[in-house]
Chains A and B, each alone.
Chain A
Amino acid sequence: MAGGGSLKEGGSPVFDITPHKIAVCHLVQVFALHTQPDMPFAFQSISQHHRLGLFLFSLTRSCESFLDPSLEELLNQLKALGGLAMLSEHLISNLLVLSSPDDLFNFFDKLRGVLAAPEGSSMEEEQTLLDPNSHLGIFIRCCILTFNMLPFEGVCHLLTNLVAYCNSNDSTYEMAEDDDFNGSEFHELLEDPEVYCEAAEFEEYGLENDAQAAENLTHIPSKFLSSFLEDNQASDDPRIKHGDGGSQSGGLIPLLNNNFRTDDNLGVLRSRWQIEGYLNMQADLLEKDAISFPLYSFSATLRQLQKLAPELHRARYLQYLNALYHNDYLSALDELHCYFDYSAGMEGLFSRSPSPSSEFEVGRFETALLCLGTLQCHFGHPKKALEALTEAVRIAQQNNDDSCLAYTLAAICKLLSEIGISNMTGIIGSPYSLGTTTGLGTPLSTQQQLLVLLKRSLERADHLKLTNLLAFNHLALAKFDLKHVKKPLLSFGPKASMKLRTCPTSVCRELRLSSHVLSEFGADGLLQLNDTGAFSTSWLKNLSAVGNPWLKKLQKPRSLSVNDYDTFQFYAQPNPMPGSVLQLAGASYLLRATSWEHYGSAPLVRMNALVYATCFADAASSSELSLAYVKLIQHLSVFKGYTEAFNALKLAEDKFSVSSTHIRLLKLQLLHERALHRGNLQEAQQVCDQFGVLASSVTGVHMELKTEASLRHARTLLAANQFSQAAAVASNLFCTCYKFNMQVENATVLLLLAEIHKKSGDAVLGLSYVLASLSFCKTFNLDLLEASATVTLAELWLSLGSSHAKKASSLIYQALPMILGHGGLELRARANIAVAKCLLADPSYLVSEDPDAVLDPLSQASEELQILEYHEMAAEAFYLMAIIFNSLGRLDERENSAASFKKHVIALENPQDEDNLPTHGV
């Protein structure tokens, strides 16, 4: 039963009785007993009655405001329901009547009468009574029960709170007398002269009740949050009060946009269940978009929450997350240890079972270790992370915590695959050494270990029905399949069965399996776990927005980014998929984009990235979303040139903060490529150096980044015609890639080596490299790279003499479909020029007979190269065109081409002239 949620947590009195609940109880009473003659209030229509019922239902379910709303707020919501003004007055007067403990006793006595007898024996009376097992019935029963269990002291406290609750209603008018508000805050503010002025204004406001002063509120609220409770309740009322004026909405937007909305003022707590709901929601938000959470004010809220509810350790976990996402290593570490010391891992992180184990047992610290490992991983300490995770595995095995074990294995996989590690000897000898191979004594490479771990984790996840993890593991396997050849694990035995190829089909299969697993979410009962009353909350929020047109206006911009619900369509379901599932589903699209990047289909990359950016933006974390944007922008730069790419980059930078690593990398990549094309080698070298700095200095870590950095370095040297140095860097890189088993990168490096030799004029040596690269490309199904290598091969053949022109042209024609279908501007231009050159070198071809056969590809190439601002090759194309025109005797066109040639050569020599776009300061 839904309403029982708050009682599930067993022993401790999690269900607090608060003034707000008394008010709700009273409303329920009115709702249930409306037919009775002695009720002073009558509903105008049935629908009005129903609306009240819905309202009460969601009031008792809503969770986001972990604090009770003030009476003012409740009344506003009531007003929004329409036609219930009388009811508000009725409610206030009834609450005010409760002035002694005895009144409270009587109130709850009377409340008992609302519930029907359990057997329904006396149904003949003309009353609509509440079914004791209905949602509202359970709510009422909980309230009565809690009240009856209160000691006299508790009743006194309740009474005090009730008086404060009623007073808060008209505190707006009593601000002058309610000097406490200023008094308490004043001296805290005194310490800080800046705020002092605002406080002074604020005091003024208290006396004059001036609409202007409401703006001051926006500067101070976080201060107020940490102040005394009763003061706080006053602070939100004026906001609503003055809201109708609509004049100062500009000043209030920050108040709404930061996460301390009106209902967050810390007053009286609601049930533990609801606070957890709130905290979970905040955790999701934090992960999604940490930047929108101001570090200090959010942690102040959490600290307040901690103070109010010391048993609720989850707030500490949020503190940890907060510090983590704001890259505060020390405090993240502190909070993490603090959280687990207090909770002993009992609250659990993934298996949030509502049954706290009553038996005496040692805490579940494997979870703590898992978190510690992730933390170290996040901050780039792979060795420490690995130690922590290893210990987590050990403790998890010791405590028979299978699900944690599975998660830990997945975390290790993530660590191995994403950050990489130089030395695995530490783990091989460890007690959880990998099953089949221990006896054989053959050390496994990191990749092999990764594969074994992945499979193990997958098995466990499947066995334990951890759907999310299963999907994650499938994705990770797909990632693995994408880049690695699967070798048999045992190094002996019949070698004939070895098939040294990556299998796109297996990647595809894993991807599909991952999505398939997720689609099972709807079928089983997992959905219910996720329902924390978020829907009721949002409905209530919108309800108050209706009553408050000014608020509604403000909510608009927010609703663009968040799935919003219609105001009165209660039956409209919110998105049935939990956020984490959506995230995983999205990740599969992102991975699809990446795999197509490798397999060489630009349109499919774009499509998948677009799908991700449009469909999964809500659930995506900012880093993943930025990755999708990066892919789209890369696509732009390859197909539309740098101007457009930089425009798009600007938008992306606005959307994500500058600190986003993906975006930063992209910017460097774009800058480097443009500098190379323009021939601005100095800038290219600078960007290259910046690249190198981004990677960690530990060997074996951030391998992809390091590879890219030295690849770009070699390319810069090549552009500067320093062939021997370039070759040295490239062959060094090749060694590294070989050492770390990075076969996909090997193909690229080999191709680069071939290019270097081609440019240095050593075509024969280049041939061997390009052939090696081609075979790698075939093995890994890198179609686009293969096409590019083919073009290089053709160029090499061509440079060996005109006798090889036929062979070269046939090679190019072989690759052309791929290039024209999927290739970028540069590759297409290169192919076109190569086609023209082949024809020109072919002795059987006469220019005068069919000039268009060479002129068409050349002009197309020159157009594309101009977009790319690739001066060197553009000059080459124009040069060829000029010669052809010359031999054809088309002098005007020859002059045009020559002029263009000259323009590009000059631009190449003076690269600084066109430096108008942002370059440095990344």
Chain B
Amino acid sequence: MSSKESYRVELRSAARQLSDRCLYSAAKWAAELLIDIEPDVHAPASSASSSAASARATPSTSSAARPLSHLHPDASAYRRRLRSAAASGDIAATPPAGVSYISTPVPDDDGFNSDGGNDRYLLAKSYFDCREYRRAAHTLRGQTGKKTGFLRCYALYLAGEKRKEEEMIELDGSLGKSDVVNSELISLERELSSLRRIGSIDSFDLYLYGLILKDKGCESLAVTVFVESVNSFPWNWSAWSELQSLCTNTDTLTKLNLKNHWMKDFFLASTYQELKMHEEALKRYECLLGVFRSSDYIQSQIATALYSLRELDEAEVIFEDLLRNDPYRVESMDIYSNLLYAKECFSALSFLAHRVFLTDKYRPESCCIIANYYSLKGQHEKSVLYFRRALKLNRKYLSAWTLMGHEYVEMKNTPAAIDAYRRAIEINPRDYRAWYGLGQTYEVMNMPFYALYYFRKSSCLQPNDSRLWVAMAQCYESAPLQMLEEAIKCYTRAANSNDSEGIALHQLAKLHGVLGHSEQAAFFYKKDLERMEAEGRQGPNMVEAMLYLARYYKSEKKFEEAEFYCTRLLDYTGPERETAKSLLRGLRIAQTAFPSMDIGHFGS
């Protein structure tokens, strides 16, 4: 695959450009990906030469893009060809089809004509690295270069953000709590918008502009700006993820006018995941894995998707692998901890918690993992304490809010639970877990009708989750409401969407029995029985099902079936056994007198 080398070149220069502009997390992302590209075993000569070129390019920033610029012409021709070829199957296109031929912007205007400019840039960047943002911006005042201009704006923005955070803490508690805004937004926006109007804005500035617009709440314009940014410089993962956070539904996603670049696949995959289209996400990631064979990022995303699809074992294997490769990884380890929590692996979870604690205890993910551990241990107070810490570190940490809500429910502190769930919904109104949690809270408070609203909301967001339908059905079924018809409808939905716990079938059978629909009841009991047999389970439900079926078949005069169930019942102990015995006796009598219907009636 010849494109692999070009990927490498692109990423290499992108990582450098990004870190020059102090966009560290994007740079980190690009660099990680660069390492993850599968080395070409049978590397053709061209790749060797270009890698040599890039090796030559390493020492100076300005020359980094040169190999790309001479790659440019033939590439666009290739793209044209591809366009006609891939026009039909665009969506299913594998990464190679989406190779971008947009050249990396040549940083020629970085304005290091005079040495003074470069020096100032160096100073400013050092200040920036020491987190003295205002000082960095001040150093760069009056500089005209693109890079310096961006750095100045970005430093100002971050300075404003920092001040905003501080003020938020200062003003906490009083009425003017969250009216704090980044005071730099207005002037920055003015500057960047005028830059955009005269057309001398580059993709990094566009990214910053998008951030500002998003903070201000002009979301549609922000989307446009982010799209412009990623179209001209696709390797800025931060821009993609901001764009992703603005795509809250598939409509917005399909309307985006994105150029076909392989980074788009990363974006689409992660957006699909966010929109709970896990299957699609998995498909894309598997394609990407063809190029970035050893990418931890892709692996972790795949594991997350698998976890969301409740494929716990597969996901666990991947997570274990990840940890083995990168023992100091903290990202997405909170998902792993959720998984371990769901599987109730005490020791593994404690091991993970210990590990991340030693790596970096002040990461929100670390706190969340520790909290999960305590929760699994049943120490809910401590768990809440660590969730709180996680939230202090990142107040937009969605799953921490929801999980903390669960803890509060366990602690019977309903007001706090409701508050936590609501905070989660504030951050992301599509979080079905939080809605579900709210419903559960109200159900605990014995308000099933009120809870229904929340369950409805949550099942609307996650229509194929049987747990939500079961919860809703239980509300309808509860003593105060007694709306059995509705409950049956919900249980049917649950049974149709792969109810792993098997509550739905049993309840369906039971409810039909209560309502006197004996035929349906028998049908569902039978199905439930089959399911339990298939899963090799035993239990009172089984006895109940068999007893009902025996009685039902007896009343239907299908004595053979009735006898079959009765004899099976004899294997169990308890009062049912006696009932089965007497039933059998009755059956014999009925069978001998079978020809005459009347006597059969008396017999029963």
Contact A190 B449 (CB under 8 A): no
Complex Cα distance, B175 from A268, in Å, reads 10
Smallest CB–CB gap between B88 and chain A, Å? 35
**A264 CB-CB contact with B under 8 Å:** no
Chain A residue at minimal CB-CB distance from B174: A13
| Residues of B contacting A212 in the complex (Cβ-Cβ under 8 angstroms) | none
Does A570 have its Cβ within 8 Å of any Cβ on chain B? no
Q: Are A369 and B450 in contact (CB under 8 A)?
A: yes
Distance (whole angstroms) from the CB of B200 to the closest CB of chain A: 17
Query: What is the bound-complex CA distance between A797 and B520, given in angstroms?
Result: 64
By size class, the interface of chain A is 35 or more
B438: chain A residues within 8 A (beta carbon): 341
CB interface residues, A 216-238, toward B, < 8 Å: 228-229
A398 proximity list for chain B (CB < 8 A): 446
Which chain A positions have C-beta within 8 A of B448? 391
Is B221 positioned at the interface, with any CB of A under 8 Å from its CB? yes
Q: Which of A16, A180, A365, A394 contacts B480 (CB 8 A)?
A: A394
| Docked complex Cα distance between A280 and B439 (Å) | 30
- Identify which of A309-317, A607-615, A773-781 touches chain B: A309-317
- A-B residue pair count with CB separations less than 8 angstroms: 114
| Binary contact track A740-756/B, C-beta < 8 Å → 1, others 0 | 00000000000000000
Contact string against A for B residues 433-457, beta-carbon threshold 8 Å, 1 for contact and 0 otherwise: 0000010001001111110011000
- Tell me which residues across on chain B come within 8 A of A394, comparing CB atoms: 446, 480
In the assembled complex, which residues on chain A have CB atoms less than 8 Å from the CB atom of B454? 337
Give which listed residue, A187, A337, A365, contacts B189 with CB less than 8 A. A187
B186 touches A184 (CB 8 A): yes
Give the contacting residue for B175; candidates A153, A308, A387; CB below 8 A.
A308
Give the CA-CA distance A337 to B439 in the complex, in Å. Answer: 11
**From residue 185 to 239 of chain B, which have CB atoms closer than 8 A to chain A?**
185-187, 189-190, 193, 213, 216, 218, 220-221
Q: Interface stretch among B63-71, B73-81, B126-134, B176-184?
A: B176-184
- Cβ A430 vs Cβ B480 within 8 A: yes
Is the CB of A799 closer than 8 A to any CB of chain B? no
Q: Is B171 an interface residue (CB 8 A)?
A: yes
Known: A307-B178, A391-B448. A151 touches B414 (CB 8 A): no
Chain A residue, CB-CB nearest to B479: A431
In contact, B414 and A16 (Cβ under 8 angstroms): no
Contact A344 B170 (CB under 8 A): no
Whether A187 lies near B170 (C-beta < 8 A) is no
Check B422 against A151 for contact (C-beta < 8 Å). no
Q: Residues of A contacting B167 with CB < 8 Å?
A: 153, 157
* Closest residue on chain B to residue A14 by CB atoms: B175
Say yes or no for A101: interface residue by CB 8 A criterion. no
Interface flags, A432-470, vs B, CB<8A=1, else 0: 000000000000000000000000000000000000000
A398 to B189, CA, bound (A): 56
A426 proximity list for chain B (CB < 8 A): 482
For window 153-182 of B, CB contacts with A under 8 Å fall at: 167, 170-171, 173-179, 181
- Do B445 and A365 touch (CB < 8 A)? yes
Chain B residues with CB below 8 A from A183, complex form:
186-187, 189-190, 193
In contact, A391 and B449 (Cβ under 8 angstroms) = yes
Instruction: Say whether B468 faces chain A, with CB atoms less than 8 Å apart.
Output: no
Q: Closest CB of chain A to B425's CB: distance in Å?
A: 9
A12 within 8 A of B: yes
| A12→B447 contact, CB < 8 A | no
Give the shortest distance, in Å, between A775 (CB) and chain B (any CB): 43
Give A298 to B221 CA distance when docked, in angstroms: 24
B171, B186, B442 — most chain A CB neighbours (10 Å): B186
Scan A354-394; emit 1 where CB is below 8 A from any B CB, else 0. 00000000110100110010000000000000011011001
- Chain B residue nearest to A342 in the complex (CB): B422
Contact with B along A134-157 (1 / 0, CB 8 A): 000000000000000001011001
**Complex Cα–Cα for A187 and B442 (A):** 44
Asked if A186 meets B193 with Cβ closer than 8 Å, knowing A310-B177, A398-B446, the reply is yes
| Cα distance, A180 to B173, chains bound together (Å) | 29
* A390 surroundings in chain B (CB, below 8 A): 449, 480
Q: How many residues of B contact A (CB 8 A)?
A: 41
Q: Are B221 and A190 in contact, with the CB atoms below 8 A?
A: yes
Pair B480/A308 contact, Cβ less than 8 Å: no
On whether A372 and B450 interact (CB within 8 A), knowing A191-B218, A228-B181, the answer reads yes
| Complex Cα–Cα for A228 and B446 (A) | 44
Interface centre among A16, A187, A391, A395 (most CB of B within 10 A): A187
Distance, CA A363 to CA B449, complexed state (A):
16
Please give the distance in Å from B228's CB to the nearest CB on chain A. 14
Which of these, B175, B187, B450, contacts A272 with CB under 8 Å?
Answer: B175
Also in contact, A13 and B173, with CB within 8 A (given A307-B179, A394-B480): yes
Which residues of B have CB within 8 Å of A157? 167, 170-171
Closest to B169 in A: A153
Main secondary structure of the interface of B (DSSP, over half): helix
Q: A889: shortest Cβ distance to chain B, in Å?
A: 80
In the complex, the answer to whether B190 meets A387 with C-beta atoms within 8 Å is: no
- In angstroms, how far is the closest chain B Cβ from the Cβ of A428? 13
Given known pairs A344-B415, A390-B480, the reply for A191 and B220 (CB within 8 Å) is yes
Residue A333 is within 8 A (CB to CB) of chain B in the complex:
yes
Shortest A199–chain B CB gap in Å is 13
Q: A157-B170, A312-B175 are in contact. Are A362 and B450 (CB under 8 A)?
A: no
CB of B481 within 8 Å of the partner chain? yes
- A16 engages B175 (CB within 8 Å): yes
B449 and A388 form a contact (CB under 8 A): yes
A71 within 8 A of partner (CB)? no
Q: Does A179 contact B (CB under 8 A)?
A: yes
The answer to whether A311 and B446 have CB atoms under 8 Å apart is: no
Distance (whole angstroms) from the CB of A481 to the closest CB of chain B: 33
In the docked arrangement, what's the CA distance between A184 and B218, Å? 11
Of A16, A183, A390, most buried by chain B (CB within 10 Å of CB) is A183
A363 touches B415 (CB 8 A): yes
In the complex, whether A188 has a CB less than 8 A from a CB of chain B is yes
A269 near B175 with CB under 8 A, answer yes
* Cβ-closest chain A residue relative to B196: A187
Cα A309 to Cα B174 with chains together (Å): 8
Contacts of B190 on A, CB cut-off 8 Å? 179-180, 183-184, 186
Task: Quote the shortest CB–CB distance from A192 to chain B (angstroms).
Answer: 10
A268 contacts across to B, CB distance below 8 A: 176
Q: If A228-B181, A369-B447, A394-B480 touch, does A16 touch B193 (CB 8 Å cutoff)?
A: no
CB distance from A20 to the nearest CB of B (A): 14
Contacts of B221 in A (CB 8 A): 187-188, 190-191
**B224: nearest chain-A partner, CB-CB:** A191
Kindly list chain B residues whose C-beta atoms are within 8 Å of the C-beta of A186: 190, 193
Cβ of B318 under 8 Å from chain A: no
Considering only residues 380-437 of chain B, those with a C-beta below 8 Å from chain A are 414-415, 418-419, 421-422
- Within 8 Å CB of A337, what residues of B? 453-454
Return the chain B residue nearest A345 by Cβ: B415
Given the known A-B contacts A179-B190, A228-B181, A391-B480, are A365 and B450 also in contact in the complex, defined by CB atoms under 8 Å? yes
B220 contact set on A, CB distance < 8 A = 191
Least CB distance from B411 to A in Å reads 12
A336 to nearest B CB, angstroms? Answer: 9
Shortest distance between the CB of B588 and any CB in chain A (Å)? 42
- A333 near B418 with CB under 8 A, answer no
Residues of A within 8 A of B414 (CB): 362-363
User: In the complex, A774 Cα to B177 Cα: how many Å?
Assistant: 71
Check if A391 sits within 8 Å of B450, measured CB to CB: yes
Q: Do the beta carbons of A311 and B189 come within 8 Å of each other?
A: no
- Nearest-neighbour CB distance to chain A for B348, whole angstroms, equals 36
Pick the 6 closest A-B CB pairs, nearest first: A183-B190, A153-B170, A391-B449, A309-B175, A184-B186, A308-B179
Interchain Cβ contacts under 8 Å between A and B, 11 examples: A16-B176, A179-B190, A183-B190, A190-B221, A312-B175, A341-B419, A342-B422, A363-B415, A369-B447, A369-B450, A395-B447
Give 18 A-B pairs besides A190-B221, A369-B447 with Cβ atoms closer than 8 angstroms.
A16-B175, A153-B171, A183-B189, A184-B189, A184-B190, A187-B189, A187-B213, A187-B218, A228-B186, A269-B175, A308-B176, A308-B179, A312-B175, A363-B414, A369-B450, A391-B447, A391-B448, A426-B482
